[in-house]
Chain A
Amino acid sequence: MRRICGGALWIVGNFWRDASGCRWPRGPVRRAQSGPLTKIIFPFAAGGSGDMLCRQLAQYLPPLVDRSFIVEDRTSGDGLIGIRAVKGSAPDSTTVLVTTGPTMYLLPMVENQPSFDSAKDFVPVSQLARFEFVVAVSPSIGVTDFKQLVAWIKANPAKASYGVPSSGTIRHFTGWQLEQVLGLSMTRVSYRGSAPIITDLLGGHLPICITTLSDTITQHRAGGIRIVAVSGPARSPFLPDVPSLKEEGSISSRTGGTACGCRPAVRPSSQRS
C-alpha cells in the first residue's frame, strides 16, 4: 500500500481538475458539498491505492448520504494509529474508518495485548475493494517462473531470503506458509515499506519478495523484476499470464475482499476445505 509517486500524481490530478473546472479565486478544489461533515480515517499514507479509494468515496458519497466527506490519513503503526483513532469515537456518523481487512483481523492476533476488538469496537459497513499479493524475484537469480524459483531455493538454501514490507502482516505469514508447504527454509527480511525492497531486488541484494501486486507491477512490466505467482485463488485480472500459487505446487489458497483488503493465502493442501 505504500507508494511513492502516488502523492505526486494526486497533486497533479488536483491541479488538472483546477485548471479545467474551478475558477480562481475559489481556492483549493472542493466539490460543492452539503450536510454535516464526516471524516474518513485511513491508517496508511496518502498517495497509495487505498487513499485513492477513500478519495473516490469522499467525492461521490455526499449526494447519496447527505453528508460531506474529508479523508484524513493517520499513518504509522501498520494501521494501529488510525484504527485506535476511530475506536471510541462518537457514534454520530462523523467518523468512518476505511482500512485493510488484515489490519482488522491480524493486529488483534499479533499484539501482546490487543488494543481493539474488531467485532466489539466497530460496526461493519462494507467491503470495498480487493487487492492482491505476489511473489516476485530479482532478475539476478535468473528465474522466470515459480517452479524454477523452488528449484533455485533448493539449490541455494544459504542465499534464500525473502523481503516483506513489515512483520506481522499477511506478507510475512504468507511467506511462512510458503516455507511450510514447500518444506523449505528461508530467511525473512523485514523492510520498512515496499520501495526499498524493489530497490534491493533490482540491485540483486535480495532474491525474493512477497508484497502487493500494486507495488511490483510497474517494475514487472518494465522487465526489472519478475512476478512469478499471485497469492489469490485465481489469476489476477491485472496479470493474466502469471499463475496463482494455487496452480503451483498444489498449494490451495483462498481470498476474499474485505474493507479494502483481502485474504490471499497459501494453504497446505492438507488443510484444503
Chain B
Amino acid sequence: MWLPAGSSPEFAKKLSAAAAEILKRPEVREKLNAVSLIPVGSTPEDLTKALAADTAFWQPIVKATGYKITN
C-alpha cells in the first residue's frame, strides 16, 4: 500500500497501523485465506526494506534475461 509522493508520513503511519489491525481480525483472515492470500501487515519502514531487498534480488535476474518492454 502506497501514497503519492509528498503525502504526510503521519497519515501513512496511521493507515499502516489501521491496516495491520484489520489484517489481524479473524473474520478478515478467514476471507483472505479463502482466496489464498496470507495476511501480513507491516510498518512503512518494513515495506521500504522489502522493496529494496526485492529490487536487489531481481535486478540481476531481469538484466540477465535481457527482457524489455517498449513504452
Q: For chain A residues 101-149, which have a beta carbon within 8 Å of chain B?
A: 101-102, 104-106, 109-113, 115, 118-132
A32 interface residue (CB < 8 Å to B): no
Say yes or no: B54 contacts A263, CB within 8 Å: yes
- CB contacts (< 8 Å) of B39 on chain A: these are 128-129
Q: Residue-by-residue, is A36-72 near B (CB-CB < 8 Å gives 1, otherwise 0)?
A: 0000000000001110110011001100110000000
Given A99-B2, A101-B54, A237-B38, the answer on whether A128 and B62 have CB atoms closer than 8 Å is no
Given A258-B50, A260-B37, the answer on whether A104 and B62 have CB atoms closer than 8 Å is no
Say yes or no: B3 contacts A122, CB within 8 Å: yes
A214 to B36, CA, bound (A): 5
Given A256-B54, A258-B50, the answer on whether A126 and B15 have CB atoms closer than 8 Å is yes
- CB contacts (< 8 Å) of A210 on chain B: these are none
Say yes or no: B3 contacts A129, CB within 8 Å: no
Residue of A nearest to B15 (CB): A125
- CB contacts (< 8 Å) of B61 on chain A: these are 173, 176-177, 265
Say yes or no: B2 contacts A123, CB within 8 Å: yes
Given A65-B18, A106-B62, the answer on whether A126 and B5 have CB atoms closer than 8 Å is no
Say yes or no: B51 contacts A93, CB within 8 Å: no
Can you pick out 14 interface pairs between chain A and chain B where the beta carbons lie within 8 Å of each other? A57-B19, A61-B18, A64-B18, A87-B4, A91-B7, A109-B58, A110-B67, A112-B71, A124-B12, A125-B2, A126-B1, A214-B35, A263-B50, A263-B57
Interface residues, chain A, CB within 8 Å of chain B? Answer: 6, 48-50, 52-53, 56-57, 60-61, 64-65, 80, 86-93, 95-99, 101-102, 104-106, 109-113, 115, 118-132, 167-168, 172-173, 176-177, 212-214, 217, 237-238, 254, 256-260, 263, 265, 267
Interface residues, chain B, CB within 8 Å of chain A? Answer: 1-9, 11-12, 14-23, 25, 28, 31-33, 35-48, 50-51, 53-55, 57-59, 61-63, 65, 67-71
